[in-house]
Amino acid sequence: MLPSLSDEFNDGIVGTSWHIQGKDDGQGPYYNNNQGRNSQFIPESISEDGGLLRIRSEWNEDFDFATGYGVPPVTTGALISKDFLKFGYMEIRCRVGKSPMSAAFWAVGNDNRGELDVFEHVGKSWDPQKDNPDDSRTMQMSIHNWSRAINDSLGNRRHWTQKHTLGFDVTDGMHVYAADWTEDYIKFYVDGTLVRTLSKTEADQIKLNGLGAWVIDQKQRIWIDCELFDWEGRVSELKPEMFGPEAVFEVDYVRDWKRGVGGKHQHAGHGPNLVSNGSFATSLDGWKTEGNVSIQDVSKWTFWKDNRPSDDPNAMQIGAGGPGASTQTISVTPNTKYLLTAYLRTPATTGTLEPSNLRGTPLVFHKGWMGVENYGGSRLTRKLYHNWFQSYSIEFTTGANDTSATVFFNNTETNRGGLLQVDGVSVVKLKDLRSDAK
């Protein structure tokens, strides 16, 4: 374990391994920048108590904000590691505060070229016009390229993102999140379970502005912070009472290990795909359809070529000229955790990453869903709003006597028009690596 990048937060002193953002310690503007996104970083928001790092976010109207600060009166905190990591294992045990703030565990290089987000968790949805109530169950993993010298378009800097629906509320208790980062892939874990592997080859197939997405090949500093993302809702809808005593991001520990040159993770990937014809190579075989559902060759369309959700040219298209639905029932094992993943695109949505476009208007969701039901638990769904293929996933655990589950995709959009396109559908059994080690 790397002492300079790890902390149990037991000594009552924050700062041995970390710089507290907004505190001028003579190390330059990178450390002394106190303006977060729609919030201001202040050292007073950071504390260590009872073996926990605590980052408190407050509606702080009496605070003397920095010159030019023109966003909601919210103060919060951020830590940046003093040392760098290049390829290794990053792990955090934490609980997210119950507030609109996004708590994050991430890393970025000094030149800002490559950003790696292990997670961004929003503790509580706040905008009534954003019709997706699952914020506190969503784990967002991302790779960004923020270098203006490489990529001039702000909207093209989010190179890869996965929105993953967890089986729990991130504000209800402590959970362990981790990433194993090598020169060839990164694996994301939740409570010892592998939820996503992104290979360098897969990432570099994603082309935005002509560039591949694997930009995490340089040493990076680790961040632990809270920010307020205006693409999660209109900041005009925020209220002081949303920042109560539970608006605290609590961290039990951060542990990091450096991986040697050529080091690889020894844990195997997931088992076989339980979905039949999840890539829709030639037909809709294996799927029960209703309404307007068809196969569409999308290989010549920019949104497919830039994201490459699969190697074949076809996708399932739902809602061409009216509503449609497609389902498949799969065989499962009782009392077992599974992961449903699919690449989805819907054009009649906001479809932008420019925050300035979202401050005055709500994020527009398309009335299209993916989900799973009839597995022994509540019906789980995921709505979407990107006009390019993006990976989404939902984890679910089967009931004590359930041997089947139904995967579904539907589109009921009538007012805004547009289609729902689906590709790369899979359901795999999840393996808890901690139980394997016993």
pLDDT one-digit tens code per residue, 286-314: 999 999 999 988 877 766 655 666 677 89
Task: Evaluate if residue 68 carries a pLDDT over 50.
Answer: yes
Sheet holding 366-373, edge to edge: 288-291, 324-331, 404-411, 366-373, 380-384
Q: Is the pLDDT of residue 176 over 50?
A: yes
For residue 202, the surrounding DSSP H or E stretch is: helix 200-204
pLDDT surpassing 50 at residue 353: no
Is the predicted pLDDT of residue 158 greater than 90, yes or no? no
Model confidence at 356: pLDDT above 50: no
Lowest mean pLDDT among 58-62, 122-126, 207-211, 367-371: 207-211
pLDDT for 354 equals 40
Q: Tell me the residue ranges of DSSP E strands in 42-87.
A: 46-49, 52-56, 58-59, 74-76, 78-81
Please answer whether residues 427 and 274 qualify as being in contact, where contact means their C-beta atoms are separated by less than 8 angstroms.
Answer: yes
Which of 97-111, 243-257, 407-421 tops mean pLDDT?
243-257
3-state secondary structure of 63: coil
What pLDDT band is residue 29 in, cutting at 50, 70 and 90?
low
Instruction: Report if pTM > 0.75.
Output: yes
Q: What is the pLDDT of residues 372-429, one digit of tens each?
A: 999 999 999 988 767 778 889 999 999 999 999 999 999 887 655 578 889 999 999 9
Residue with tokens 């041995």: 16
**Maximum distance among all alpha carbons in the chain?**
64
pLDDT for the residue 413: 72
Tens digit of pLDDT for each residue in 130-153?
655 678 999 999 988 766 555 454
Q: Over the chain, what is the mean pLDDT?
A: 84
Rounded to whole angstroms, how far apart are CA atoms 269 and 262? Answer: 18
